[in-house]
Amino acid sequence: MNMKIDINKEDDKTVVLVAGEIDAYTAPKLREALLPLAEEENPQISVNLKNVSYMDSTGLGVFVGLLKNVRKNNGNLHLVELTDRLERLFSITGLSDIIDISSKSEGGLQ
């Protein structure tokens, strides 16, 4: 399955909507789209994952790398509207303890 990425700048934050599957095939495309956003000064990035049907470890790696770059540039990363399956994935890997995650679209970056 393909993956679609929509990036919208809203005032001082960037909202990214990802749809499809994030796997070894599509993760490089996601990394290529997201990492430049993290290189900005004080990046405020919200990634909506409500339309992601599947994610494997390469997808998790993209978000770990993104988080490192965002923090290096004094920014914030917020993942929103995760499906139950994705929430479990982030939880069992311990990433939910280090990445700001919300099952709702509200909260996080304001």
Residue-level pLDDT at 92: 96
CB 31 within 8 A of CB 65: yes
- Cross-sheet strand order for the sheet of 13-22: 3-10, 13-22, 44-55, 76-80, 100-102
Structural domain total, the chain = 1
Residue 26 falls inside a structural domain: yes
Residue 32 falls inside a structural domain: yes
Amino acid identity, position 81: E
Mean pLDDT within 11-17: 94
Sign of CA dihedral 2, 55, 84, 102: negative
pLDDT digits (tens, 9 = 90+) for 38-95: 999 999 999 999 999 999 999 999 999 999 999 999 999 999 999 999 999 999 999 9
Residue 93 falls inside a structural domain: yes
Query: Which pTM does this prediction carry?
Result: 0.91
User: For residue 59, what are the domain limits?
Assistant: 3-102
Supply the CATH number for residue 46's domain.
Answer: 3.30.750.24
pLDDT confidence bin for 109, thresholds 50/70/90 = very low
Q: Show the DSSP H helices in the chain as ranges.
A: 27-38, 57-72, 84-92
Size of the chain, expressed as the number of residues it contains: 110
